[in-house]
Amino acid sequence: MVSDLLYHLDTHKSMGLDGIHPRVLRELVEVLTKPFSIIYQQSWLTREVPVDWRLANVMPIYKKGWKEDPGNYRPVSLTSVPGNVMEQIIVSAITWHIQNNQVIRPSQHGFMKGRCCLTNLISFHDKMTCLVEEGKAVDVVCLDFTTYYF
pLDDT for position 136: 93
Q: Say if residue 49 is exposed, middle or buried (CB neighbours under 10 Å; 0-12, 13-18, 19+).
A: middle
Q: What are the tens digits of pLDDT across the range 122-146?
A: 998 999 999 999 999 988 888 877 7
The partner residues of 58 in beta bridges, in order of sequence, read: 77
CB 55 within 8 A of CB 80: yes
- pLDDT tens, residue order, the chain (150 aa): 888 888 888 888 888 888 888 898 989 899 999 999 999 999 989 988 888 888 888 989 998 889 998 889 999 888 888 888 898 888 888 888 888 887 877 777 777 778 888 888 899 899 999 999 999 998 888 887 777 666
Query: How would DSSP label each residue in the chain?
Result: -HHHHHHT--TTSPP-TT---HHHHHHTHHHHHHHHHHHHHHHHHHT---HHHH--EEEEEE-SS-TT-GGGEEEEEE--HHHHHHHHHHHHHHHHHHHHTT-S-TT--TTSTT--HHHHHHHHHHHHHHHHHTT---------------
